[in-house]
Amino acid sequence: MTTIPTSRGGTGEPWERYKHQPHWRNNADEFEAAKLGMWLFLATELLLFSGFFCAYFVLRMFHPDSFRGASEYYLNWQIGAVNTVILLISSWNVAVAVRAAQLGRKMILAVNLFFASLCGVAFLVIKLSLEYIPKIQKGEVPGGFFSYAGGHGYEPSAYDPVFLSVYWVSTATHGFHVLVGVLLLWWVGWRALKGHFGPKHYTAVENVGLYWHIVDLIWIFLFPLLYLVP
Amino acid sequence: MTTIHADTTGPHGHDAHHDAPYYASKGGLFVNIWDWMTTIDHKKIGVMYLFAVLAAFALGGAAALLVRMQLWAPTTTVAGATGEAVVTGMWPFASNLDYNKAFTLHGAVMVFLFIIPSIPAALGNFILPLMLGAKDVAFPRLNLFSWYVYVIGSLFAIASIILGGVDTGWTFYTPYSTIAEEYGRVIAMTLAVFILGFSSIFTGMNFIVTVHKLRAPGMGWFDMPLFVWAIYATSIIQVLATPVLGITVLLLTIENVFKIGIFNPAYGGDPVLYQHFFWFYSHPAVYIMILPGMGIISELIAVHARKKIFGYKFVAFSSLGIAAISFIVWGHHMFTSQGELASAIFSGLTFLVAIPSAIKVFNWTATLYKGSIALTTPMAYALIFLFLFSIGGLTGLFLGSLSTDMHLHDTYFVVAHFHYVMMGGTVMAFLGGIHHWWPKMFGKMYNERWALVGAALVFIGFNMTFFTQFILGTKGMPRRYATYVDEFQALHQLSTVGSWILGVGFLIHLAVLATSFFGGKTAPPNPWGGLSLEWETASPPIEHNFHHEPVVRHHPYDFDTVVPPQTVPGEFPVADPGGKGH
Amino acid sequence: MSQAHAEIHHDEHEHHHVSSMRLLNTILAVLLVLTVLTVAVSRVHFGESLNLWIAVGIAVVKASLVAGFFMHLLHDKAMNTIVLFFCILTIGFFLLFTLVDMGSRGMVDPLRDGDIAPPAIAAEARQRAIAEGRLDPNESHADDHATPESH
């Protein structure tokens, strides 16, 4: 519960010389406005994903048995759990990074941002190599292209392609957001190394951090709903 | 209380170019084109939006005129040489399919390319920061980006049309949109809607933050002009509803490309789920269309009747009320397709919309009472709005009641109802707003007499076109058909003639505004005696809007106590100049 | 005039709240524990809907922790929380009314409870595999599904 000193002074880094855009009255107004804008954008992200959740709940209500069997058979909850942990840790990194920016600790800031982006890459690698690619090879793809014939005593039900539709579109859209987040983390990490962020100016760290948290937050809901249907 | 800080003092120690209008030439032709294409000035972006949406309006209007031409006479089906059914009398369309494509084009272009961006993105972009006394919107680069996103989205829509068009109706209902023979066109059109949604979201985000963070010193929430309140409420809907449209058309696109099964029953999906998704956005979208119009009407009535708006807070909060209620009534578009429990709930909730809408209409009427009404073109359009919107709103009650809607569903009654609200409401307000702010935007006055002639023709033509459709609808004429039974021909022909009169009215407006643009009289800074901040700067505004940051010292509707800024003394008499009566 | 300007340019030096490391670490630990909990609870069968409610409930708690502390809504301008609140309210309306409708078909009028024929994709894929000899209809062997969980 510390408050930062208003100026650390002396280092001459770019963040100390930051001047707001001309239509703002001061840096603080600009920062708060950027953050409010970011929250509005995050609201639109949540609403976008709410479409998947709505489709999920409605279709699960219609076909509960198919959803239970399909979730258990096609998805491996261990993979989902590992990815959940990876995203939670990366969220912690980003929170630490924002704190480092507020305190003017450049290296801690940059290291945490890069580590978070590595977590994002790990998430995507796991997703692709252990889920998407094997699934495509076996024909466990959504809707009309579904061609998995069953095996190990499992006979796909008529609505397995529907479950896989929801799974694919929601996780792929989420994966796209992770990819965008990784690129953004690289961008702010690179700028952090150049000394763009410090106690008086860290708008981009704050907003990219918020975006990364929302990506994590959406996965927190996707994981139990898709992987852990009892 | 009565002294106003008018921004007439001119620049102090600034260069001369600070005094130049925002659109002053920066150099040669290419320099100017580059300057406009890369501008982050909200005024220029507003003008760019204005031209873009007017082009969309022309395209959609042309399609509407063609549709009305087809309905001049019913077609007949006769047996051909080999006994096959041959449809004769198709004109100007070659087939029913072409007719379907034309009304889809009309609907999609008018909704997504014209009405939704019309008032907020064109007039709102130009006027809202001026009204708040701000130098620009909160995120100027995002603002320019949203214009480019709009253009890219429009290009996708046009590509879809050039490739052959879409015949699904503007609602893209599944399974029409998933069993279409030409997936490519449906994909292009739904992608266009997806992209246009982003443009709308960016505009809404920008305005919300602008209203929160960039109000002039001294301007509290209840000192904002009602146009700003309306745009604010609109922006809330844009931000909260448009993402659901995004996911809807994205899923539809993915469904067509990858054959996933969420909406398509052939793959295990549910087509009614699509309707819920679609109307969850598209009903609030109706208020994205009408709320900015209501905001304009509040300005027009108060300024041109020189009367303090009656019930300011009620008008302001009713905008937010409409925004809130808009999210819980979407099911009234689905009375014939959803379950009866949901229908009953949605029908009951729908009637809530009438309350804030009626509050507005009553307050506007009360504002007019004993006002000094000047029958300018903006005021004429405000009166037309009151008349047409009341008819549109009241017929909405018929459609909101479950039992009547069962009979009127998908008839011309519905078509007439939403044209009375969308066109009789929003487009009339848009035209009134354009004439009201035209002197401010371009620094030129227009010919009042000819503009009033145009308004009269639009009013007559509109009612001829669409009142007949109420009658047709109650008689059972279904929408979206290229033909009809012979008994309906007289009413259809009346409607078609009305559409021509309407077209002539719009052309007169276009001529009046073009004449004004190229050779009109120079406009004074405050031709109507308005009190909101946009009238405190020059006409047209300087590049940075104001020489000094304006400070708000009075309410925007204190016409009885405040001398309007930048007007000739006595030009706009003040009832109580000393303010002693208050 | 000068007074007004003095009011405008008041606070250049905004005091931002800085979270302590101990708080951030604690939140991460709680989030990881809740992840374990949500997996554990899903292994116990409380019944279809109760399991779903528990899973969603734990997710809501986790999401609140992320939003409240990592995204520091608790120490931020109230407006950002209001934005999130109305976003969630909107999602609530969307899910609630859609589910009410989709879950109440045919309650009054059985005619409205029409069934959509199940899609034939899965069955056709199976028949194709059997016809091509890739699958034994009685017991499968040709499949390479490596981890048939819970089978």
Which tens digits make up the pLDDT trace of C89-98? 999 999 999 9
Matching residue, tokens 């069997």: A69
Is B302 a residue whose pLDDT tops 60? yes
Confidence of residue C117 (pLDDT cuts 50, 70, 90): confident
Under an 8 A CB cutoff, do C80 and A36 touch?
Answer: yes
Is B582 a residue whose pLDDT tops 50? no
* pLDDT, position B246: 96
Could you say which DSSP state residue B139 is in? -
Q: Which of B245, B260, B281 to mutate to test the interface with A (most CBs of A within 10 A)?
A: B260
Higher pLDDT, B175 or C66: C66
**Does any CB of chain B come closer than 8 Å to the CB of residue C2?**
no
Using a CB-CB cut-off of 8 Å, the residues of chain C touching B212 are 79
* pLDDT, position B13: 44
CA–CA separation, B109 and B170 (whole Å): 9
Q: How far is B486 from chain A (nearest CA, A)?
A: 45
* pLDDT, position A142: 87
Nearest to B303 by CA among B398, B354, B371: B371
Confidence of residue C130 (pLDDT cuts 50, 70, 90): confident
Confidence of residue C15 (pLDDT cuts 50, 70, 90): low
Query: B56-60, B140-144, C4-8: lowest mean pLDDT where?
Result: C4-8
Return the SS3 of A151.
strand
Is A4 a residue whose pLDDT tops 60? no
Q: Which of B183, B247, B546 to mutate to test the interface with A (most CBs of A within 10 A)?
A: B247
CA–CA separation, B362 and B354 (whole Å): 12
* pLDDT, position B409: 95
**Does any CB of chain B come closer than 8 Å to the CB of residue A165?**
yes
Under an 8 A CB cutoff, do A161 and C102 touch?
Answer: no
Return the SS3 of B529.
coil
**Does any CB of chain B come closer than 8 Å to the CB of residue A218?**
no
* pLDDT, position B579: 55
**Does any CB of chain B come closer than 8 Å to the CB of residue C104?**
yes
Nearest to A199 by CA among A92, A109, A91: A109
Q: Which of C79, C89, C101 to mutate to test the interface with B (most CBs of B within 10 A)?
A: C101
CA–CA separation, A220 and B13 (whole Å): 58
Is B19 a residue whose pLDDT tops 50? yes
Nearest to C101 by CA among B341, A57, A61: B341
Name residues whose C-beta falls within 8 Å of residue B529's C-beta, 6 or more positions apart in sequence.
Answer: B303, B306, B535, B559, B564, B567, B571, B572
Confidence of residue B577 (pLDDT cuts 50, 70, 90): low
* pLDDT, position B178: 86
How large is the average pLDDT for residues A164-179? 96
Q: Which residues pair with A2 in a beta bridge?
A: C18
CB-nearest to C102 from B268, B273, B327 is B273
How large is the average pLDDT for residues B415-425? 97
Nearest to B538 by CA among B393, B470, B462, B440: B440
The residue of chain B nearest to residue C103, with distances taken between CA atoms, is B339
Under an 8 A CB cutoff, do B549 and C119 touch?
Answer: no
- Report the C-alpha dihedral over residues A33, A39, A41, A42, rounded to 10 degrees: 160
Higher pLDDT, C143 or B275: B275
How large is the average pLDDT for residues A94-114? 96
Helix, strand and coil content of chain A, in percent to the nearest 5, comes to 75, 5, 20
Matching residue, tokens 């008689």: B475
Is B9 a residue whose pLDDT tops 90? no
Is C8 a residue whose pLDDT tops 50? no
Chain B, 400-459: which have a CB under 8 Å from a chain A CB?
Answer: none
Chain B touching partners, 3 or more CB pairs below 8 A: A, C
Half-sphere exposure of C144 (CA within 13 A, CB side): 8
Is C139 a residue whose pLDDT tops 70? no
How large is the average pLDDT for residues A169-195? 97
Q: Which of A31, A76, A90, A99 to mutate to test the interface with C (most CBs of C within 10 A)?
A: A99
Confidence of residue A11 (pLDDT cuts 50, 70, 90): low
Longest Cα–Cα distance of chain C, Å, equals 90
CA–CA separation, B530 and B456 (whole Å): 25
Name residues whose C-beta falls within 8 Å of residue C63's C-beta, 6 or more positions apart in sequence.
Answer: A217, A220, A221
* pLDDT, position A5: 47
How large is the average pLDDT for residues B52-76? 96
Asked if residues A114 and C29 have their Cβ atoms less than 8 Å apart, the reply is: no
Query: A7-21, B141-155, B438-452, C25-39: lowest mean pLDDT where?
Result: A7-21
Nearest to B400 by CA among B454, B341, B330, B451: B330
Confidence of residue A78 (pLDDT cuts 50, 70, 90): very high
Q: How far is B473 from chain C (nearest CA, A)?
A: 25
Under an 8 A CB cutoff, do B213 and A54 touch?
Answer: no
How large is the average pLDDT for residues B266-283? 94
Is A82 a residue whose pLDDT tops 50? yes
Could you say which DSSP state residue C13 is in? S
How large is the average pLDDT for residues B429-439? 97
Using a CB-CB cut-off of 8 Å, the residues of chain A touching B269 are 59, 162, 165
* pLDDT, position B11: 45
How large is the average pLDDT for residues B370-389? 96
Query: B289-293, B425-429, C104-108: lowest mean pLDDT where?
Result: C104-108
CA–CA separation, A113 and A90 (whole Å): 9
**Does any CB of chain A come closer than 8 Å to the CB of residue B301?**
no
Residue B21 burial by Cβ neighbours in a 10 Å radius (0-12, 13-18, 19+):
middle
Is C11 a residue whose pLDDT tops 60? no
- Residues of chain A with pLDDT > 90: what percent? 81
Q: How far is A118 from chain C (nearest CA, A)?
A: 18
Mean pLDDT of chain C: 82
CA end-to-end span of chain A = 42
* pLDDT, position B501: 98
Q: Among positive and negative, which fits the CA dihedral B338, B342, B348, B354?
A: negative
* pLDDT, position B85: 82
Using a CB-CB cut-off of 8 Å, the residues of chain B touching C109 are 340
Evaluate the omega torsion of the peptide bond into residue B540 and state whether it is cis, within 30 degrees of 0. Answer: yes
* pLDDT, position C105: 81
Mean pLDDT of chain A: 92
Under an 8 A CB cutoff, do B277 and A166 touch?
Answer: no
Residue B379 dihedral angles phi and psi, to the nearest 5°: -65, -40
Under an 8 A CB cutoff, do B339 and C106 touch?
Answer: yes
- Residues of chain B with pLDDT > 70: what percent? 95
Longest Cα–Cα distance of chain A, Å, equals 71
Instruction: Please give the structure tokens belonging to residue B78.
Output: 């006769």
Q: For the segment C36-61, what is each residue's pLDDT rounded down to a tens digit? A: 999 999 988 888 889 999 999 999 99
Under an 8 A CB cutoff, do C101 and B339 touch?
Answer: yes
* pLDDT, position B99: 94
Backbone dihedral region of B220: left (phi > 0), alpha (psi from -120 to 50 degrees) or beta? Answer: beta
> ipTM of this model?
0.94
Neighbour tally for C103: CB within 10 Å: 15
CA–CA separation, A166 and A150 (whole Å): 20
How large is the average pLDDT for residues B143-158? 97
Q: How far is B268 from chain C (nearest CA, A)?
A: 5
Residues recorded for chain C? 151
Under an 8 A CB cutoff, do B268 and C86 touch?
Answer: no
Query: A40-54, A110-124, B74-88: lowest mean pLDDT where?
Result: B74-88
Is B563 a residue whose pLDDT tops 60? yes
Confidence of residue A153 (pLDDT cuts 50, 70, 90): confident
